[in-house]
Every structure is written in C-alpha cells, then in structure tokens.
Amino acid sequence: MRASTRSITLGVVSLVIVAFGPRIAASSSPNIIVVLADDLGYGDLGCYGNSEVHTPNLDQFATEGLRFTDCYSAAANCSPSRAGLMTGRTPWRLGIHNWIPMMSPMHVKETEITIATLLKGAGYDTCHVGKWHLNGMFNLPGQPQPNDHGFDHWFSIQNNALPNHRNPYNFVRNGIPVGPIEGYSAEIVTDEAIRWLETEEKTERPFFLFVCYSEPHEPVATAERHTQLYADKEDPAERALLGNITQLDEGFGRLMKAVDDLGLREDTLVLFTSDNGPAITGRHPYGSAAPLRAKKGYLREGGIRVPGLLRWPGVTSPDSVCKEPVSGVDLLPTLCAISNIAVPDDRAIDGTSWLPLFNDETLDRENPLYWHFLRAKGSVKVAIREGDWKLVARIDQPDLKPSGGITQEDIEYQTRAQLTDFSLYQLTSDIGETTDLKDTEAERFNAMKHTLVSMYEEVREESPIWPAWEFPRYEGGRIEWPEYQALIKPPVYEP
C-alpha cells in the first residue's frame, strides 16, 4: 500500500507525558487517520474508567499509544467542533455558531483553509467518510462541498444517518446519492474507508483519511449482537446506547485491522476523539461524562472535554499518558508541523502544534484555549483555559431556548451581548467545577478576565453575520427539530 519513505530529522521541541518514546525522525509525511465519534462522552470508554461498556478495540488502542486526560473539542456541539478541528480556528470566527440544519445558510466558507486542503497541496491523497456537517446546502449548489475543502474522495452525509443508524438512505459518494444501504452506519462507514485504502493506487503518496462515525448520536439503532452484551440492563434504551458505543468500537477495530493487514501501521499516525460530550437525552439518558460536570451543549467540562487517543509508532510510547490540555483546534498546526507545511499566516490560528509534546516538553500557547457559544445550555456562554485554570463567563442577555441553525435572536445576541458574572476554577483539584476561586485568586482572575474579554471582542468582530433561518412554521406554531426531521422523506431512486 502507500507508505511514505521520505525522511527528515525534526529539531528538538516537546510534553508532559508518562514514559514517552523516541524523538520524531521516522517520516516527514506520515499517513494520517483521524477518527471522530459523535456525542461520545469522556466517561464512555473502558480506557477512561467505564466498567460497564464493552470497548475492547479502543481500550487496546489506548495501550498501543498515548491517552490524553485533558483533550477538548473545539466546541460543545457538532458543527462548530468539526469546523474548529478542520481549520485550527475557533469556530465562532468562521460564523459556525451552532449545529447546522439542512438548508441553513451557515457553512464553512470556501475562503477558509482546511487540513485537507493543506495536505492535498502537499501531495497527500485525501478522503472523508461519514458525517460532514459543515454546510446546510449539502450536495447542492451555493455552498462548498467536501471536495471544495480538499477531499479527493468523499462518502458523506450532511448530519445524521437517516432514518437512523440502520439501513441509511442519505449517503452521497462524490456528489452522487448512493440510495438505501443495508447495514449499520459504523459498518458502512468502515467499509468505505477500507475500500478506499485497498483500491487506491499503490504509490509513494501519503494519505489523509478522515473517518466520522454517527455513533452514538441519536437517532440510535444498534445491531442485536451488540445489545445482547448488555442483556443485564433492564431498560432497552440503555442496551441500545451502550451497544451503539460497542458498534462504534467494532468499526474502529475493523479499520485498525485493515491498516495492519495493508502494512501501514508503522508509518501511520492515528488520532481518535469525539466532537463533544455525551448527549444524555430523555430518550437515551445513559451516556457518561464522568467525573465531569454537565454534558453536550454546555461549556462545563462535560460538554467539551472528550476522549483523545493517539498512536504514532516510533513517536508515542505504548500505554503512555499526557495531562497537557489539548484541543481540536490544535490539529491543523500539528499536522502542518509534522508534514513540513506552512501554517496559514493571513488569518488567526487559535491552535498550537503538539510537536513539543512528542519530545517531553510543555506547550507554549500564544492564546489560551477558548470556547464561545451563545446558545450554550446553562448560564456559561464563554470560557478559556490557561494551564490548570478555567475562567467562565455569562452574558447580560436572557437564555435562548436551545435551537439549531441561525435565527434573528442569534444575530441580535451576537452584536449586543456583553460578558458578565465570571467564575474561576482550578481544574486539577476541582475537576467538577464546584468552587469559584475568583476572590482568593484575584490577580490571576483579573489577568484571565482581561484575556477573555479581549478574545471575546476579537472573535465576535471577525464572525460573519448570516441571514436568519427558522424551522418551518405551521398553523399551530413552529415545527421543532424532531418534527422537522420526521418530515424528511427518503428520496426515490431509479434502478
């Protein structure tokens, strides 16, 4: 298969890790696989302390490389998180303020530069499989599609697999609707990823494969062989949700086996993470962010701290652990550094390269980790993390009801909301964010408050303002998302 043979020796740079391994010298352009789960919580894997869930493949993968204890998504829900990961920029800068419904004006503009675009320009073959969720006009004219953002091959869905994970009908391959497919989403996505790896020409070109599973996002559908593992659970919804995580794990395990079978392991960097914390809904109230506070949609730790597992043979040591805070926005500068690609210098890049971590040094961030979500659940709408310290802020406007897309209320809030009511937490000693230390740490609090306010104003100024979008209305009121989703009918395909 395609294993790059080009070599360089990078300068010594480096991370706070337990038992880290050899310095970087294997390849200037390793193959890269990024695997993204959907709504998988910090406490949803065995390797993060969950004793009830069956995740043997991810648990084994954790022993083969590095496990991050303080890995963050770029946002508290899906579209912004993915936008931040792909561009290295806080998603509010891009105008990705919330999750993107179909037909929404929100999208990652063609002027934004993604990881895939940069890697493709450096000679990588590129492929996206699974959930896209970076535009509203998916596979329609008027907004960029995956190929416009650097992917040679794409097999994608706009948001969720529909009608659920079982027998989805809404996948599109390189602009052509595929039609109904038998099987479960994780199986289907894994099959396409493996097929792409196996059928691509055997060249010396490295590859970037971005695999975005739907599991365990609702609407959940789980194969019986996975739910049977949880027969002791009384609630079928719990069996379905836990089985759905196992379904994801099985797909990941098959993908990693294919990497091994094709002889790619030694020259391939693999990152596994999640787009945000667990949903924990009324229908499936069983995802876990333990021991963190809150869940998806919140800027508390449970909404943004996620699993993060990295294997890069010859660089990461088996069964190693890193406590350095890292984020999805770091991926672009990290992959640029690894592959000798210049980071775009004509725009703000909020992430920083992890390269120092691979040589036992701490990261030197120009700016703290930053989150900005005016429709966040709970009162906290903006947050930063510097070292072990997290500062959160509210806004001087009433809470908006959770919603997707962009509405007139969002536009008004974006232009007028001011920060207020700040709180400071020391996360090493207070992972649950229970004790506000702003009075006892006044100097630190004031410095971080100044930084947070400055970043908030800068990011808000850069963000585009979209036209407002509302869910369709009917005589009795506004159609909410579950009702709207039920209106979507499978397309009819001619044989």
Which amino acid appears at position 134 of this protein? L
Which amino acid appears at position 145 of this protein? Q
**How many CB atoms sit inside 10 A of residue 147's CB?**
15
Residue whose token pair is 């993604």 = 114
CB contact at 8 A, 321 and 67 = yes
**Residue 207, token pair as written in the block:** 């590859």
133 flagged as catalytic? yes
Q: What angle do CA 190, 238, 279 make, to 5 degrees?
A: 70
Helices (H), 352-397: none
Rounded CA gap, 368 and 386, in Å?
5
**Residue 171, token pair as written in the block:** 């996948």
**How many CB atoms sit inside 10 A of residue 228's CB?**
11
165 flagged as catalytic? no
Q: Which helix (H) or strand (E) holds 386?
A: strand 382-386
Backbone φ and ψ for 474, nearest 5 degrees, come out as -135, 180
SS3 74: coil
The residue annotated as part of the active site, out of 71, 78, 322, 336, is 78
Closest by alpha carbon to 426, among 391, 451, 383, 381? 391
Pairing between β-strand 369-372 and β-strand 382-386 as defined by DSSP bridges = antiparallel
Which amino acid appears at position 168 of this protein? P
The residue annotated as part of the active site, out of 128, 133, 165, 284, is 133
Catalytic residues: 78, 133
